[in-house]
Chain A
């Protein structure tokens, strides 16, 4: 259902399967009567529920006290009037006021619980937030920037544009774009507070000004529609279980006529010689491992289809290979070593892999490093880059 006023719009949905009533958008009515349709739907939804009833306000961006009072009193009425009912409210830390405001409900009844939905946004979040991973992320950016600096131009990035880097991670790519392309505005968004802290610190240490690092959920950003000439999102669709949701948001914040630029991998195409067979086996297993955690590290060549299905036009796609012969074989080897630590370490362990598998799995990474550092060897890591224009 959608209710719209001059400047405010809110929606509500009910998922019977999850017993979850969700509120989205902006709720600043003048009178509680304006919410009567939504409140009636809430009552209707809860009528057939016993046990736990979920109220999801993660995507509720604004709410005044009129609206809060109406919903809060209704929730209290429900738990007071129904002995078989408990209510759980889920908020998001992205919306600054929400958790504090709804937390008062817990003080009014022990049948109401409130929690902040956060760490489970993305399946890979806990892996990539590991602070030990920062060094390898910086090295990865250094290796890919060597190629992307020119590719960004070919895909339409020009100086003076309004640019957003979504899923900016530790923010180093945003810094490089700022230096190279001098955008008029550069917003860099990520859902890792620790990564953003690091990004802000690096920008301050390097005297970089003009990058607006913001906390947010890429699948539902607070950024307004049609704002940016060029939107980048690198190596990130592959860590989401529903990449089309992210792409929809990238489309939304992009200006009509602007372009969205995504880069992704197809890890099973990593290669090296000598010891090519072992390397290939291991990277095929990497794809399976990521799939186990609901992530698709093979998404690279699928980017074109995703963009076309997402409504983009003039979609262009290509690939480049980061190799050990780009000038920094040790940097390349360091990246592979960190993959080994993460994939054959924490991730394999969490999947419950046995020692024999892990030994063979790890050997492929060692062989990739061997190929990268071998005087006559060659090692590669392919990356697909796609961009599409939002129709005018």
Chain B
């Protein structure tokens, strides 16, 4: 992965900033973007399966799995709606201690990349919550950025995007889903 020039990074909306260590990978799933987008239920299936796989050793596996599945599903639904024409979708999940990272690499032309960049820019401003609520209660079709806004505002996720060496894009979400005090 090339995190060189052009990477956009959003600080977590919660107080403080999550570190970005090189997190060990737990799982990776690769599939063709066309196959993935052939059925909407793939978002639910993938998120439920991966959430179950990575939740067994958490403080509360059921609660964690439920939250993880919700967050991952929103990311996958966003990719389902906004992606480039053809290529491979890679979904890898990483973790160190209480920090989970979800990386989605998928085909993206400039227009696709722009949609994600604008969504993340909304989160980096001071009125992210207001924008999230506006997107949530719009009379129109849900905006493609709604899921990302929710992750940033509601889950305190730190989101970033970048171009990969092969011309696809990488969407990264870092989350701390478990309250260590629980």
Instruction: Enumerate chain A interface residues (CB-CB to B < 8 A).
Output: 5-8, 26, 28-30, 61-66, 68-69, 72-73, 76, 94-97, 100-101, 104, 107-108, 187, 189, 193, 196-197, 200, 212-216, 222-223
| Nearest CB in chain A: distance from B59 CB, A | 7
Determine whether B133 belongs to the interface, using a CB cutoff of 8 Å to chain A: yes
CB of B57 to closest CB in A, whole Å: 8
Contacts of A223 in B (CB 8 A): 62
How distant is the Cα of A108 from the Cα of B65 in the complex, in angstroms? 29
Contacts of A30 in B (CB 8 A): 40
Q: 13 extra interchain contacts, Cβ-Cβ under 8 A, other than A96-B177, A215-B60? A: A28-B43, A28-B77, A62-B73, A63-B70, A65-B150, A66-B77, A66-B142, A95-B66, A97-B66, A97-B154, A193-B182, A200-B59, A212-B61
Q: At the interface, yes or no: B23 with Cβ under 8 Å from chain A?
A: no
Q: CB within 8 A of B136: which of A6, A65, A94?
A: A65
Residues of B within 8 A of A (CB): 39-41, 43-45, 48, 56, 59-67, 69-70, 73-74, 77, 133, 136-139, 142, 146-147, 150, 154, 177, 182
State how many angstroms separate the Cβ of A75 from the closest Cβ of chain B.
10
12 cross-chain CB contacts under 8 A: A28-B77, A62-B66, A65-B150, A66-B77, A76-B137, A94-B62, A95-B66, A96-B66, A97-B70, A104-B133, A213-B60, A215-B63
CB A211 to nearest CB in B, in angstroms, measures 11
A62 & B74 in contact (Cβ 8 Å cutoff): no
SS class, residues of chain B in contact with chain A: helix
Shortest Cβ distance from A300 into chain B, in angstroms?
A: 30
Rounded to whole Å, the gap between the CB of B113 and the closest CB of chain A is 22
Known: A64-B74, A214-B60, A214-B61. A73 touches B139 (CB 8 A): yes
- Say yes or no: A62 contacts B136, CB within 8 Å: no
Contacts of B74 in A (CB 8 A): 64-65
Q: Contacts of A73 on B, CB cut-off 8 Å?
A: 137, 139
CB pair A62–B69 under 8 Å, yes or no, is yes
